[in-house]
């Protein structure tokens, strides 16, 4: 029985799956072989496409054969073409589903010439989106923490929204770019959200059922204090037998409701969340206790490494937040259970526009690691600015220690909400798509992924060149007009949007730039600073140790230097600050003009939404430029050598 394709609610953007994308498949004679639920999903997709574009499901002379030879869980597929017939084979429905969407992505090219059979399989087994969605509206963070795309797709005002057709459509979009897991609630687990684990698991089960036909397993963020908060126990000590029994029972009941449940995501001892430290236990003790509860059911615990002191004294220069994850977790390498995955933010701080790759990633060879990226643009323009993160993520994933040592999984904080464009800014859809594709193949060329997204979303005849130009450099543009040379933050406290150079300078959060009249930046060298640079393996420890070898873009992350320090680019630090801030704004103006020229060539609602967001981006970029430039002019007293206006 073919599973019907989800129907998009009125006014909701089809994103990278417009009907036209299915024309090449839908106009052909297609044979489907195999059985199982995901084969039925593929069957439904093909039937719908054929009904629309005049093709047919056919036994004889098929132009496309989609065959699942068995019913295993493998995600791999083989694609080939001979004698006018394109063939996708997989050993089960999952692989067939990914193979089908691969053909959709290729479009007409899948049906031309000959193609030697090529095997595709994902580099990482788990490609997960973490939704920081609250079930009940949080008084400060709202429905979605750091969400810039409206409310939650799953929850509204304390309960499940029940709009499961939209959730199905979401699952379909995710499958089409390769994502296979979704955590449905915020890692900051408040009281209402905590109950999803027990008496409200049925609401999660409904979401899981909607996502399942697209190969997506559901996960839940849980609070470490659940045995106390939900179970009425007096302790959540991970080594206490009653605590272990409680988790084993609660977990067994989760699996009764959701047999293919993926597992738990846990933020412990971080920014006020409870954790094992309260009982004098290690994070390995905490993670392993949950891993033990999940193991009999085939589940995994994702234990976040985002553990640091958020009540630091800004006067204390010996504490360095960047060191924290490594200091906490490296001594625990080899002590985590096989189904406990340490989920590590890609940088040592917090999703800034430029950070070095976390040294933890290369330093725990005996621990399963997931790298966490942030698709939601908390520090990169909050989906009001165009900031395509593909090149940044690609740099992270290709970085020596990460690439060499490997990480098992990729996770991104979701940028999706109930907005009709899914991501608030229509061009932010490119971030979601790129994440999925990079998670499948971390060494893929991000520019090619961008073009793929453009082709699907805007059609084969869309203004591909212009769209590529607008998006491709947008991350570097954003970097230019915001905090310079890797120093980070300088954002308005709390909501993190817009400039405030000293916004976090005298705060407890460990996020300082230390600008004075002579210079700026954080000395993280081993010789004279916090020693953070020494957390890297060779050659990076040496490269970062000295201002002479440290890459320009990270200079102020690793070193406190005088304003007159000459960069590898030949410019002084102060002149670099002025130049990049003027350039950044000019680049926004240029991109905005390109976008304006596309009026009439892209769908009107999409054009209008992006045009409106560009107005705000430009206003904000000018604000960043003028505040940052004026701040450093006033601190340093060094004028811009080109005499441009600073205030
Ligand atoms: C979910 C940053 C964000 C928080 C977020 C936290 C995390 O600090 O500002 O909103 O909390 O990261 O990743 O846990």
- pLDDT per residue as tens digits for the range 436-458: 999 999 999 999 999 999 999 99
Q: How far is the CA of 503 from the centre of ligand 1 (A)?
A: 17
Residue 237 has a CB neighbour count (10 Å cut-off) of: 20
Residue 324, pLDDT score: 97
**Is the predicted pLDDT of residue 408 greater than 90, yes or no?**
no
Q: In this structure, what token pair is assigned to residue 634?
A: 């006033």
Q: Which atom of ligand 1 is nearest to the CA of 267?
A: 14
Write the pLDDT tens digit of every residue in 137-150: 999 999 999 999 99
**Is the predicted pLDDT of residue 479 greater than 80, yes or no?**
yes
Residue 306, pLDDT score: 97
Q: Over the chain, what is the mean pLDDT?
A: 97
The owner of tokens 């971390």 is 442
Helix (H) or strand (E) holding 180: none
Residue 346, pLDDT score: 97
Is 13 annotated in the active site? no
**Is the predicted pLDDT of residue 402 greater than 60, yes or no?**
no
pTM: 0.98
The owner of tokens 């030949």 is 570
Q: How far is the CA of 302 from the centre of ligand 1 (A)?
A: 16
First-to-last CA distance in the chain? 68
Residue 417, pLDDT score: 98
Is the model more confident about 1 or about 576? 576
The domain segmentation of the chain, as residue ranges, is 19-120, 126-171+189-215+222-418, 480-636
> Coil, helix or strand for 176?
helix
Q: Which fold has domain 480-636?
A: Alpha-d-glucuronidase, C-terminal Domain (3.90.1330)
CB half-sphere exposure, 211, CA atoms < 13 A: 30
Write the pLDDT tens digit of every residue in 527-545: 999 999 999 999 999 999 9
Residue 52, pLDDT score: 97
Active-site choice (256, 271, 309, 516)? 271
Q: Which atom of ligand 1 is nearest to the CA of 496?
A: 9
> What's the 3-state SS for 383-424?
CCCCCCCHHHHHHHHHCHHHHHHCCCEEEEECCCCCCCCCCC
Q: Which atom of ligand 1 is nearest to the CA of 188?
A: 1
Mutate to test the pocket of ligand 1, among 132, 271, 351, 510 (most ligand atoms within 8 A of CB): 271
Q: How far is the CA of 345 from the centre of ligand 1 (A)?
A: 11
Residue 362, pLDDT score: 86
Q: How far is the CA of 198 from the centre of ligand 1 (A)?
A: 25
Is 583 annotated in the active site? no
Q: Which atom of ligand 1 is nearest to the CA of 141?
A: 10
**Is the predicted pLDDT of residue 406 greater than 90, yes or no?**
no
Q: Which atom of ligand 1 is nearest to the CA of 345?
A: 13
590 contacts 617 by C-beta, under 8 angstroms = no
Residue 404, pLDDT score: 53
Q: Which atom of ligand 1 is nearest to the CA of 187?
A: 1
Minimal CA–CA distance to 638: which of 582, 567, 562, 587? 562
pLDDT-derived band at 340 (thresholds 50, 70, 90) equals very high
Active-site choice (67, 269, 378, 579)? 378
Write the pLDDT tens digit of every residue in 48-102: 999 999 999 999 999 999 999 999 999 999 999 999 999 999 999 999 999 999 9
In this structure, CATH architecture of domain 19-120: 2-Layer Sandwich (3.30)
> Domain spanning 126-171+189-215+222-418 has what CATH number?
3.20.20.80
Nearest CA to ligand 1 atom 12: 350
Distances (CA, A) of 109 to 102, 104, 106, 434: 11, 10, 5, 21
Cis, bond preceding 539 (omega within 30 deg of 0)? yes
Q: How far is the CA of 489 from the centre of ligand 1 (A)?
A: 14
Q: How far is the CA of 263 from the centre of ligand 1 (A)?
A: 21
Q: What is the arithmetic mean of pLDDT over 302-316? A: 96
Q: How far is the CA of 338 from the centre of ligand 1 (A)?
A: 26
Q: How far is the CA of 647 from the centre of ligand 1 (A)?
A: 34
Q: How far is the CA of 528 from the centre of ligand 1 (A)?
A: 30
Residue 574, pLDDT score: 98
Q: How far is the CA of 435 from the centre of ligand 1 (A)?
A: 19
With vertex at residue 578, the alpha carbon angle to CA 573 and CA 580, rounded to the nearest 5 degrees, is: 90
pLDDT-derived band at 136 (thresholds 50, 70, 90) equals very high
List all residues 6 or more positions away from 470 whose beta carbon is below 8 Å from its beta carbon: 386, 427, 591, 594, 595
Distances (CA, A) of 192 to 10, 131, 142, 195: 31, 16, 14, 6
Pairing of strands 181-183, 409-413: unpaired
Q: In this structure, what token pair is assigned to residue 524?
A: 């993280």
Of all residues in the chain, the percent with pLDDT exceeding 90 is 98
Residue 401, pLDDT score: 59
* Torsion, Cα of 642, 643, 645, 647 (10° steps): 110
**Is the predicted pLDDT of residue 584 greater than 90, yes or no?**
yes
pLDDT-derived band at 405 (thresholds 50, 70, 90) equals low
> What's the 3-state SS for 516-554?
CCCEECCCCCCCCCCCHHHHCCCCHHHHHHCCCCCCHHH
482 contacts 490 by C-beta, under 8 angstroms = yes
- Integer Cα distance of 556 and 576 in angstroms: 12
Nearest CA to ligand 1 atom 2: 350
Q: How far is the CA of 246 from the centre of ligand 1 (A)?
A: 28
Spell out which residues line ligand 1, taking CB within 6 angstroms: 132, 145-146, 187-188, 267, 271, 306, 350, 378
- Integer Cα distance of 156 and 134 in angstroms: 8
573 contacts 582 by C-beta, under 8 angstroms = no
Helix ranges, 126-163 (H): none
**β-pair partners for 219:** 183, 263
Mutate to test the pocket of ligand 1, among 132, 371, 488, 496 (most ligand atoms within 8 A of CB): 132
Distances (CA, A) of 425 to 281, 374, 420, 533: 43, 16, 10, 37
Residue 1, pLDDT score: 86
Is 271 annotated in the active site? yes
Lowest mean pLDDT among 166-180, 388-402, 633-647: 388-402
- Integer Cα distance of 100 and 79 in angstroms: 10
Minimal CA–CA distance to 481: which of 591, 397, 395, 563? 591
Minimal CA–CA distance to 39: which of 85, 100, 80? 100
Active-site choice (350, 452, 579, 640)? 350
DSSP letter (8 states) at residue 117: E
Residue 403, pLDDT score: 54
Q: In this structure, what token pair is assigned to residue 431?
A: 């971030």
């Amino acid at each position: 029985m073919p599973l019907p394709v989800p129907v998009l609610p009125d006014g909701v953007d089809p994103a990278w799956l417009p009907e036209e994308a299915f024309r090449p498949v839908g106009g052909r004679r297609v044979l489907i072989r195999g059985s199982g639920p995901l084969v039925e999903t593929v069957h439904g997709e093909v039937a719908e496409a054929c009904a629309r574009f005049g093709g047919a499901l056919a036994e004889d002379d098929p132009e496309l054969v989609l065959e699942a030879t068995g019913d295993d869980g493998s995600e791999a597929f083989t694609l080939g073409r001979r004698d006018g017939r394109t063939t996708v084979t997989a050993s089960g429905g999952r692989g067939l589903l990914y193979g089908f969407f691969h053909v959709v992505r290729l479009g007409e090219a899948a049906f031309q010439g000959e193609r030697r059979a090529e095997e595709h399989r994902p580099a990482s087994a788990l490609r997960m989106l973490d939704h920081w969605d609250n079930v009940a509206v949080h008084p400060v963070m709202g429905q979605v923490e750091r969400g810039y795309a409206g409310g939650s797709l799953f929850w509204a005002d304390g309960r499940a929204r029940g709009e499961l057709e939209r959730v199905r459509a979401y699952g379909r979009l995710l499958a089409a770019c390769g994502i296979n897991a979704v955590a449905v609630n915020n890692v900051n687990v408040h009281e209402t959200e905590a109950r999803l684990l027990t008496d409200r698991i049925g609401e999660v089960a409904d979401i899981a059922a909607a996502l399942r036909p697209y190969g997506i397993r559901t996960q839940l963020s849980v609070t470490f204090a659940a045995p106390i908060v939900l179970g009425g126990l007096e302790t959540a000590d991970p080594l206490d037998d009653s605590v272990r029994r409680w988790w084993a029972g609660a977990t067994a009941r989760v699996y009764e409701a959701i047999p293919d449940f993926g597992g738990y995501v846990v933020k412990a001892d971080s920014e006020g969340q409870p954790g094992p430290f309260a009982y004098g236990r290690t994070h390995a003790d905490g993670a392993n206790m949950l891993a033990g509860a999940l193991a009999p059911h085939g589940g995994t615990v994702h234990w976040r490494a985002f553990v640091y002191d958020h009540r630091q004294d800004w006067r204390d220069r010996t504490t360095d937040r960047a060191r924290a994850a490594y200091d906490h977790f490296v001594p625990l390498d080899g002590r985590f259970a096989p189904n406990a995955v340490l989920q590590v933010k890609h940088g040592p701080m917090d999703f800034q526009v430029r950070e070095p790759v976390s040294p933890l990633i290369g330093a725990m060879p005996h621990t399963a690691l997931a790298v966490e990226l942030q698709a939601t643009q908390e520090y990169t323009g909050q989906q009001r600015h165009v900031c395509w993160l593909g090149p940044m993520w690609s740099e992270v994933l290709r970085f020596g220690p990460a690439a060499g040592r490997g990480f098992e999984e990729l996770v991104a904080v979701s940028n999706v909400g109930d907005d009709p464009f899914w991501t608030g800014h229509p061009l932010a859809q490119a971030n979601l798509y790129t994440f999925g594709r990079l998670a499948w193949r971390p060494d893929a060329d991000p520019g090619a992924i961008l073009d793929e997204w453009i082709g699907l979303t805007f059609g084969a005849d869309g203004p591909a060149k212009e769209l590529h130009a607008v998006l491709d450099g947008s991350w570097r543009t954003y970097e230019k007009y915001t905090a310079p040379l890797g120093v980070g933050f300088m954002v308005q406290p709390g909501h993190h949007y817009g400039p405030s150079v000293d916004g976090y300078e005298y705060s407890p959060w460990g996020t300082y730039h230390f600008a004075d009249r002579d210079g700026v930046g954080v000395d993280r060298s081993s010789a004279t600073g916090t020693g953070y640079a020494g957390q890297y393996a060779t050659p990076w420890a040496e490269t970062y140790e000295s201002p002479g070898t440290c890459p320009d873009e990270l200079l102020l992350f690793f070193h406190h230097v005088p304003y007159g320090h000459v960069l590898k680019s030949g410019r002084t630090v102060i002149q670099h600050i002025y130049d990049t801030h003027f350039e950044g704004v000019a680049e926004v103006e240029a991109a905005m003009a390109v976008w304006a020229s596309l009026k009439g060539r892209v769908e009107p609602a999409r054009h209008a939404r992006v045009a409106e967001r560009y107005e705000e981006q430009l206003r904000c970029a000018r604000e960043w430029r003028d505040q940052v430039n004026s701040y450093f002019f006033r601190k340093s007293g060094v004028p811009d050598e080109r005499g441009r206006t600073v205030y």
